[in-house]
Structures are given as C-alpha cells and as structure tokens.
Chains A and B, each alone.
Chain A
Amino acid sequence: MATLTYRDALNQALREEMQRDQDVFLMGEEVGVYQGAYKVSRGLLEEFGPKRVVDTPIAELGFAGIGVGAAMAGLRPVIEFMTWNFAVLAMDQIVNSVAKMLYMSGGQINVPIVFRGPNGAALQLGSQHSQAWESWLAHIPGLKVVAPATPADAKGLLKSAIRDNNPVIVLEGEMLYNLKGEVPDGEHIVPIGKAEVKREGKDVTLVCHSKTLTVALKAAEQLAEQDVKAEVLDLRSLRPLDETAILESVRKTNRAVVVEEGWPHAGIGAQVVDLIQRDAFDDLDAPVQRVTQADVPMPYNKHLERAAKASPEKVVAAARRVLYLE
C-alpha cells in the first residue's frame, strides 16, 4: 500500500480512468495549464493533451451543459467545478437536464457524466465560499452522490463514478486534499452505495461522511477516554444511502449521533434520522441527536467560524446526551 494525499489519490483515479477509456475527458476552469485550482489535475494536460483536458472560461452553466451534451452523444465527461459554491450556477443543468434525461426520454438517453470539486467549508473563506451542498444534490432522483473522506475512498469512488453509466456527483472535501492515507496498490474500486465502519464500537453510532469523518474519529478518541466505545460509520455515498449499514450499526449500539457539515434544516442528517426512527424505532434507547453547522451563513471571524462548525467537542457532547451522561 502506498501512502498518498487525498489530492494525489484523486489524480491517480483520473489518470487511470483516462488511460483506460478514450471517451473520458476532464473539463473545467484552470484544470489544464494551471494544473487545477487545487492541483487535482496536475500533469494531466501534459499526458493527455488539450483535447482531453479542456480549460474553460468562467461559465459554469455553459460548460456543465456542454458536458451534458457530450455525454448524450456517448462521451464520459468529468466536469470539475472550482468549488461547489460555483456549481450553483450550473444547477439548472444538473437538476433539469442531467437528472431527468433518462426518465423523460423514456429510457433512451443516459448521461454518464461526473461532476466533481471541493465541497464544504475551508478556513475563513466567508459565507459564499464555505458551504456544503450535499442535501441539495442528494434530494434529486436521477443522481448518485458520493462524498469520500479518505484518500482510498476518494480514489475508489471517483473511479466508480467515472465508470458509472449514470450521472454521479463527487463531493470532495475542500479541507481534505492534503490528508494522507493508505491507498491499496493496483486497481482500487470502491462501490457506490456502500458505507463503511471506520471504527468499531458498541455504545453509540456516530454517522458521518466526508470531512466529518475526521471530526467523528476525534470524538470517538475522546469518548474512549471516558469509557464510551463509539462506532464510526462513514456513509461515503449519500444517494443511494446504505440503509442496511446504518440500521445494522444502530441495532447494535441502540444510540446514534449524525454529524454533517451542512445546515440542520432539511439536511442529510434529517434523512438518516427518518430512516432510523422508522426502521429501528424499537432498537433505540434514546432520541437520535444531530451535529451540524450552525443555522447561519458562515461567518468570517475565526472564533465565530469555529463556533459555527461541527467539532469533536460538539459530537462528544451529543454522544453523552444520547447516553444520558449529561
């Protein structure tokens, strides 16, 4: 196993899939000459040339749509958004064209496209550049949505996304690009729709994804010092959601805390809680708790920002509440 950054794991996935399939191409702002705003596409222009690594103007709606048209004609575009905050300008294409094409064409036209880019808050970037979009995207039938938390999952899920014949949204953690981790050598694929237990425990389940895996793992450490064995379940895929894995874990621990970077109202956690109350009601020993970003636009001030974000401390406190230790 090699130790790679999340960034390089994504880069490997792109490179391998572009080598494997001539129909795969990368398109977006600064992906070529500049080597990627976050350097995910480093070296790809040199290897594959401008036909397959396409620098675009700042026109999210337009180039997302051009990608869709290309996919309708049989290509497999990977569209990079510099961040998902800017993908909002392309939402018409994602929601109205991509997600519905197969259905409204009566099954004739599938759209094998990947939309990827950094998601979630980084540090002190202010309100417009610090947002987590998963609940918007996972709401929509016709899309698959993944949010890898580790270099291995980043590589394996991006490869699956590119090979999928359906549109797949890949939410990369903006704070995760430098994260290092072991990535299996050789062909490494992670199936879409499978959660993974990242730490085993029996007292409480911490459900998380993307950057909140790091948060949950830290919380689990702290809980261990208090003799609480937390299980950390990384969803990895938000649509489809691995309902079996969630229920299995909750049936074992009887308690759950759902952690996410997004806002509380109509968030991903709400969906997870709905599942648990419906299908594991009798297994629950306490109401499920959620840890989310504060229900406000992200402030710039670093103390306020810290207060707004999900943190290990908040997760520990929520876990103690579901264990009636508070």
Chain B
Amino acid sequence: MTATARSTKPAATQSAVPPELQLTMLRHMLLIRRFEEKAAEAYALGKIGGFCHLYIGQEAVGVGALAALKEDDYVICSYREHGQALIKGISARAVMAELFGKATGCSKGKGGSMHLFDAKKGFMGGHGIVGGHIPLGAGLAFASKYQGNDKVSVCFFGEAAVNIGSFHETLNMSSVWKLPVIFLCENNRYGMGTAFERVAAVTDIVEHACSYDMAAELVDGMNVLTVYDATRRAVERARKQSQPTLLEVRTYRYMGHSMSDPLHGVYRTKDEVEEQKARDPITHLAGKLKEERVIDQAGLDAMDAEIHAEVEDAVKFADESPDPDPDELYTDVMVD
C-alpha cells in the first residue's frame, strides 16, 4: 500500500482566514438560508411542484467547500443542490425561476429543483438518482487530467449514497487513475427516514477511504471555516498531486427530507432537531465575527435586509417569468 494522508479526526485548528472572506461566507450562508425559506413558502403556495429538497442546516458545507475552489472548477451534486448552485454563481433569480419551472430558469424550466445546471459556470447539475452522479464527478476529473488543465472536480452526495455500488466503483477507479476529484459526503445522518447506523455496517464513512487507499478527512460541517480548511487541503492534493480525497462532512438537515416530509417525522425526535439547531453554522459565524468586531449588529441587519431584498426580487422575477414555450417540449432531446 502506498502512503496517503488519512485523518479521521476532525481538525480543530484553522489557518487564518481573512475577515473579508469570512464575511463573504457568512453572506453566502445567509443567502442560502433566506432563499430556502422563500422556496418553502412558494412551495406551500403551490408555485413550486414535485420534489423540493431544502439545504437549511447544511449551508456551511456547500459554502465552505466552494470558497476553496477556483471559478472554473467543477461542482456536481445530488438533488439537494440549491445552495451549491447559488454559490457557484447562478443568480437567485435563475435558480428560483427554475424551481418555478419558468423559461428563465437556469435549465429553462425543464430541469426543476433537482436538476439545476449552469455548464458555463462549472455547475454540472443536480442529479436525482442516489449515487448516480458520483462516477460523473470522477469523469469530469478524468477529463481535466486528459485535457491537461488544472480543473478540480468536487462531487457532493449524501451519506446514504455510500451504500450504493457506484460510490465504491468510482472511488476505486479514481484512486487507481489518480483523478483530481473530491468526494464530499454530506453526512446529515439520514437518508429520508433511515438513520445511517441502521443500514451501514461501517458508520465512519472516512473509513471507506482505506479500502481504496485514498486520503480522507472527517470534517465538522457545522463550522464553515473547518469545511473551507479541509476542502483547501483536498483541492491542493487534487490540483498539485492529482490525487483524490474523500471528505466526510458531518452536518444536519433541519427540515424534512423534502417538502412533502414533516419537519422531524417519526424517525427522529424534535429534541434532536432542536439540539442540532443550537449548533447553527450561521449563528455561530455571525457571533464569532461580532466578537472579533469584524461586523456589528447593524452590519448584520443590513446584510440580512440586502439578502432579503435579493430573494424577494428572485421570487418576483420567477413569478412574473413566462412558462416555457409549448414548442420547448420537443427541443433539447438531441443536438445537431
């Protein structure tokens, strides 16, 4: 076995992150939170249909990880991808319009909540089959290596996807072929109503990296700075050494699995949810930055108001946007 760095303890220390970047991360987390709250409202009003999976509680994961990337790096996600899409540079308008199924949406209203795309921004989609996009993430990295560019690929997926074959097949090949890919597992403890320990023989997901001789880190996903730090190390490993990494990021979703699922349901207790909310990544970072006098309450209020306006505008835009032209039904099946 060749030596790869494997750390299964969450790293406690953080390298110094410039205050401006911390503020940006705070802003990004808040944007996702407010966006998702609005999406929930719009769903209740029937403006959004089908499945809609919210990211509330997990914001630090997407924000911290994406802060470690270059603009042209690839990001590919499961269906719980509103947050990553927003931070990868798709406007709140285009994301909301997609949720509304409108022609102005980032997938022209033909994708919906689970299939947000912006190829130009390196956002390679939300994908609806659990684990199905994991090999795609590795394939994007395969292309980077083949084409000789330095684009890194980050693939987000839930812990339940670790039980699926494509996860294992892909980790193996990525390690054998030394692909510049980061497998970012968002362990929010549940796949729908199934607690991970009820269905997984190995509950420390990082351990799976041993099977594939891959570097891995266990990361506290309720702290955006730790996520940023760990992802930076993984990005460096990918970009400089063309080596893959498995990150297990421990996080928690506050809402139901999807909008049709109750808040805590029968598979977890209200107390557990409340306990986790006490570790809220936004409150945590806002408090820290206030303490460090990087921002004051007035500044925070102004930030929130600004974001509120941005999200309101997105809803208005989505609401007023036209449905796709009926002819769009038959377009985009094939290219010439």
Contact = CB atoms under 8 A, between A and B. Distances in A.
Interface of A: 25, 51, 54, 56-57, 59, 61-75, 92-93, 96-97, 101-110, 141-142, 144, 165-166
Contacts of A56: 173
A59 to B, nearest CB: 4
B331 A97 contact: no
4 closest cross-chain pairs (CB), A and B: A69-B139, A65-B135, A62-B169, A106-B108
How many chain B residues sit at the interface, stated as a range, is: 35 or more
13 contacts: A56-B173, A59-B169, A62-B173, A64-B135, A65-B170, A66-B135, A68-B135, A97-B133, A103-B110, A104-B107, A106-B105, A106-B107, A108-B118
Contacts of B228: none
Interface string B106-135: 111111000101111000110111001111
A106 B125 CA distance: 11
B135 A69 contact: yes
A72 B124 contact: yes
Given A57-B176, A63-B173, A73-B74, A107 B332 contact: yes
A12 B335 CA distance: 26
Between B124, B136, B170, B173, the greatest number of chain A beta carbons within 10 A of the residue's beta carbon is seen for B136
B267 interface: no
A101 B117 CA distance: 10
B327 interface: no
Given A51-B146, A97-B133, A110 B165 contact: no
B172 interface: yes
A34 B29 CA distance: 52
Contacts of A61: 135, 165-166, 169
A69 B143 contact: yes
Given A69-B139, A106-B117, 11 more contacts: A62-B138, A65-B170, A69-B143, A73-B74, A73-B140, A73-B151, A74-B147, A75-B146, A105-B107, A105-B115, A142-B333
B142 interface: yes
A72 B117 contact: no
B333 A102 contact: yes
B143 A70 contact: yes
B143 A102 contact: no
Contacts of A71: 139
Between B138, B146, B172, the greatest number of chain A beta carbons within 10 A of the residue's beta carbon is seen for B146
B115 A93 contact: no
Interface string B146-185: 1100010100000000000110011011001100000000
B299 to A, nearest CB: 38
Between A51, A66, A107, A165, the greatest number of chain B beta carbons within 10 A of the residue's beta carbon is seen for A66
A105 B139 contact: no
B332 A70 contact: no
B42 to A, nearest CB: 20
B172 A70 contact: no
A70 B139 contact: yes
Contacts of B188: none
Between A54, A93, A104, the greatest number of chain B beta carbons within 10 A of the residue's beta carbon is seen for A104
Given A57-B169, A61-B165, A66-B173, A108 B119 contact: yes
B129 A92 contact: yes
A54 B178 CA distance: 13
A166 B173 contact: no
B152 to A, nearest CB: 12
A62 B108 contact: no
B336 interface: yes
Contacts of A108: 107, 117-120
A93 B144 contact: no
Interface string B316-336: 000000000000000111111
A215 to B, nearest CB: 31
A62 B170 contact: yes
A211 B12 CA distance: 64
A70 B153 CA distance: 11
Nearest to A166: B334
A63 B147 contact: no
A228 to B, nearest CB: 40
B137 interface: yes
B146 A104 contact: no
Contacts of A73: 74, 139-140, 143-144, 147, 151
Contact of B166 (A62, A67, A103, A104): A62
Contacts of A166: 334-335
A301 B127 CA distance: 45
Contact of A72 (B139, B166, B336): B139
A180 to B, nearest CB: 34
Contacts of B106: 106
A80 to B, nearest CB: 15
A97 B146 contact: no
A74 B173 contact: no
A73 B136 CA distance: 10
Contact of A70 (B142, B165, B331, B334): B142
Contact of A104 (B117, B138, B170): B117
A109 B124 contact: yes
A109 B146 contact: no
A109 B177 CA distance: 25
